[in-house]
Amino acid sequence: MTDQRIYNFNAGPAAIPLQVLKEIQGSFLNFNGSGMSITEISHRSSYFDDVINDAVTRVKRLLKLDDRFHVLFLQGGASLQFAMIPMNFLLEGDTADYVNTGTWSTKAIKEAQIQKKNYQVVASSEDKDFSYIPKDIKFSKNAGYVHLTSNNTIKGTQFHEFPDTKGVPIVCDMSSDIFSRPLDMEKFGLIYAGAQKNLGPSGTCMVIIRQDMLDMANENLPSMLKYSTYVSKNSMYNTPPCFGVYTIDLVLKWIEEEMGGLEKLEEYNIEKAGLLYDFIEASEFYSTTAEKFSKSLMNVTFRLPDVDLEKKFIVQATEKGFGGLKGHRSVGGCRASIYNAATMESIKALIQFMASFEKENK
């Protein structure tokens, strides 16, 4: 087995900044002089209080959040949020608007349907196999919320601008592009994100909820399914995913102190994705699957001339140290997930490999 690190293009769990991994490695056996690993300390200790409070502070600073917003760390992933959201915010007679842009939106809609909640699918890109983001959407005036999925990891599409919902709060699954760019948080009543793509390891879901949204939530629910439970206990009603929160805190520190914040990070992400898309679009061998103005900055999905060449491409890429380039099993093809932690070096190396593969197989 080699100690050599690969170029990691996995869709999730995905790459974590090397600097963060080294910091974890250096303190893993003795966290902050405690004589214990971060995986061993009590979540009721001052050591962990410092970690979770620092993470909350950094989230609020990066997104410019005021005291109306609560930052929570939950378990159950984004998938639990698919169910918790209608459970908390759709009482009898309430309705919500959903925009269907692919697999994760479909799963969110299904959870509202299972609970027999009132909802409308006000826009969908299913007619073109979810290859684009719908525009000019007509939202309901009386909706309790509008549910969006900001980035589609499987189809490689992304909301580059969020729609005008005429004051209806947006609830958004941002699992795969959170903290990749600045956000106007006034539009959002709640955002949520599984950590394993752009924030840290799997096992933690970040939720940011605005107070007016919280005020509308159903309180007649089991404790673990109410947002108010986590707000009132600073995410520590029960034992939180301590290691996940610790890693997220270090990733947020990296974004602030090494990458220069979200504005600079967005520029970097645009430059990275631009290099790869420009190469693919100039090629007659590779082709992207998403429509031009909907292409994701996080997940670049592409095809080769035939399935056999795609299989050969994946095998040779793996041999050369490029991991995670196989497309999602539901769609096939290839995919490079280039989240925040993907370096410019890795993009340039991938392009060099792709150019060489094209030359040898054209």
Three-state SS sequence of 201-226: CCCCEEEEEEHHHHHCCCCCCCHHHC
Convert 112-144 to b/e letters by CB count within 10 Å (16 or more is b): beeeebebeebbbbeeeebbbbbeebebbeebb
DSSP-based three-state secondary structure for 303: strand
| Inter-residue contact 218 to 89 (CB < 8 Å) | yes
Torsion sign over Cα 36, 42, 45, 50: positive
**To which residue do tokens 């699918």 refer?**
121
- Choose, from 197, 226, 272, 295, the residue flagged as catalytic: 197
Amino acid type, 203: G
Annotated catalytic, 173?
Answer: yes
d(CA 317, CA 221): 49
| Inter-residue contact 271 to 227 (CB < 8 Å) | no
For residue 240 the two structure tokens come to 């939180």
Annotated catalytic, 254?
Answer: no
Residues in the chain, total: 362
Annotated catalytic, 104?
Answer: yes
**To which residue do tokens 């003795």 refer?**
30
- Choose, from 97, 104, 177, 295, the residue flagged as catalytic: 104
Residue ranges of alpha helices (H) inside 102-260 are: 103-114, 211-215, 227-232, 242-257
| Inter-residue contact 124 to 134 (CB < 8 Å) | yes
- Choose, from 173, 272, 295, 326, the residue flagged as catalytic: 173
Question: Catalytic residue positions?
Answer: 104, 173, 197
